[in-house]
Structure 1
């Protein structure tokens, strides 16, 4: 069983990712993780923070000479900007005088970062978190609610992608389907994992050239208007064997687990498996994936389409897994939305903590990580095993079983 968690605040000294139950024999290095984190920083419409806030990582345990050991893996992601925040985010008490000086640059404007944040942002966790935990300073909430936390998820996702590929031949790719009003047309070609370098080179990780240009124009227009944008991302998982998940209990359904995993990403407000929302407007004769003979699916079948997104009844059916997530516009709007000051009760404008216009491209990478984690969990529940050497033949056995005798448990 995989167990994982992340710890750390956005402007704290480090983020920490920990995963236990991870099999031995998976080949990973610092570069494996650096590459994944570099993809998370990509995307047109990102702010200057992505340039100066680099990801310095250190594998603390669970890997030796480039191979996982089967023991817990811990990874530290250092905050290279920590010296500027050492007093503000100190774990120990800090005197009031220490919070009335700049952060060592000679810029008096930096004193502002030391002040309590009492103007919560609409759409963010600020106000709800302050009320829940009894905080008077929104920084006590926003530091952990920040999407910076997802850097640790991407590290765990990169480990899980390596496991899926090396033990089961499962590979993933993520891309952007929509930014603002610009969307990839229905029926456009889907990317494969081999297209990842090309996607990383695109300003918004879009696989459709004309749509990518339209998305860039949307971002430029929003920036001119001092506004922000959301969009839709899609994760595709190829060569997932039949039989992951189960129909027998609500919390074992693979599609439900994938939806929860993607919805847990900061700013995600909608998830669909396959063409879930479009299917809601279709008649049944046009919504379901007809079963044909002459393929490599269960008992030699193939599908005429994949509108179900690779799952039926909460079980993977051998088709490409497709998970889409809808990301709301960034909550910190440069034009500053209306709010109140929680100390005085007076009307105010919301705090402005970042300068991104659009974070859809990195959201695709984060969603890919969450899908990888969920599939790795489901795979290990299905086949067990403490090492790649044990897992790989078991995966091959369930593939063979599904092709010859149906999709039952192997």
Structure 2
């Protein structure tokens, strides 16, 4: 069983990330984790904080000479802006001399769309600072670091992930466009919006520019693809073991994510049954599917084809032309505090979604195949695949199968 935990505040000294249960023998380097942390800052429309806030990574435990030990892994992500916040965020009792202005000002105008007001109500605070510090998407840096550990384990089993942007506001990648493969990650990261379609990316850039000019923000949809998964990861036997349910929860836990769909998801609900499901055909190497509408899962389990899951991110709730709110100190109408200047963070959400999918896949794979070392897990996986009768084995989708599908349509 894999367990993960993050701790830390947005303007605190550091974020802490802990992963327990990763088998021994997984190749881990600080450079690989740091590279993923840099990817989280990518994307046209990000604010200045991405430039001056550095993620100083250090590995505190669980890795020796570039290999996991099988013991808990602890990561530290230092905040280079901490010296500016030592008084405001001091863990020791401190008397702030001026609560009316500057960093120490009491945040009594909760921002619509954030955790501010409900957090103040729930945790009995008279201002939003203690809430927004933890609710901040800055916490996703710890998730991305943990996701890098998970992806390293997946790669040992031949499983690779890639994420990309499908839409920014009303601008969408055309239906039926080619899907990126894991080898396309560098090209995606080089694109301003991490979009695999160059023409659509240019339209997305224009949409971000228009929103910035209007003092507004944008959301969008990202998609995560997992290649190389075996069939049968997850389970149909109970609600909390269904992989699609676990993935949906993991993605919905990301700040600002408001919707998740597997495969064609909501589009499938608009189709008739005869056009909604992936028919099965005999092909060289085993059974294949004539389409991929289900997104690589059936009955809460992987099918052995490409896993495809999408997450929808709402527009950033802190808007330059601030939304209306209430000043909780006076009870009077006011405008909300403005804490950041991003216009769009959808490309970064794709990197975070990729990390969360990786973590959940590792959890389900270890539940199925176990193993105290990566070698043992690999042997268990290979033994499981070898034991599947030839008449039941899944083959990759092929041109012959797609032609057969067309003939049967």
Unaligned runs of 5+ in 2: 395-409
Distance apart, 1:399 and its partner CA:
2.4
Query: What do the CA deviations read for 1:172-227 (whole angstroms, capped 9, x no partner)?
Result: 00000000111000000000000000000000000000110010001000000000
Query: What do the CA deviations read for 1:75-103 (whole angstroms, capped 9, x no partner)?
Result: 00000000001101001111132x569xx
2:260 pairs with 1:271:
yes
Alignment of 1:104-123 (within 5 A): 111-123=101-113
Name the SS for the 2:232 alignment partner.
coil
Distance apart, 1:22 and its partner CA:
1.0
2:232 pairs with 1:243:
yes
2:371 pairs with 1:381:
no
- Kept after mapping to 1: 8 A contact 2:234/2:241: yes
Query: What do the CA deviations read for 1:208-261 (whole angstroms, capped 9, x no partner)?
Result: 001100100010000000000000000000011001000000000000001110
- Kept after mapping to 2: 8 A contact 1:243/1:407: no
Name the SS for the 2:9 alignment partner.
coil
Q: Which residue of 1 aligns with 2:28?
A: 28
- Kept after mapping to 2: 8 A contact 1:43/1:360: yes
Alignment of 1:157-306 (within 5 A): 157-166=147-156, 168-296=157-285, 300-306=286-292
Query: What do the CA deviations read for 1:369-407 (whole angstroms, capped 9, x no partner)?
Result: 000000000000000001111011111222233462647
- Kept after mapping to 2: 8 A contact 1:47/1:357: yes
Query: How many residues matched?
Result: 394
RMSD: 1.3
CA distance in 1, matches of 2:389, 2:144: 33
TM-score, with length taken from structure 2? 0.95
CA distance in 1, matches of 2:89, 2:389: 56
TM-score, with length taken from structure 1? 0.94
Name the SS for the 2:103 alignment partner.
helix
- Kept after mapping to 1: 8 A contact 2:287/2:393: no
- Kept after mapping to 1: 8 A contact 2:99/2:106: no
Unaligned runs of 5+ in 1: 102-110
Name the SS for the 1:251 alignment partner.
helix
Change (3 A) 1:121 1:246: same
Moved over 4 A (4+): none
Q: Which residue of 1 aligns with 2:323?
A: 337
Change (3 A) 1:350 1:64: same
- Kept after mapping to 1: 8 A contact 2:109/2:327: yes
Q: Which residue of 1 aligns with 2:50?
A: 50
Q: Which residue of 2 aligns with 1:77?
A: 77
- Kept after mapping to 1: 8 A contact 2:263/2:292: yes
Query: What do the CA deviations read for 1:253-283 (whole angstroms, capped 9, x no partner)?
Result: 0000011101100000000000011001000
- Kept after mapping to 1: 8 A contact 2:268/2:276: yes
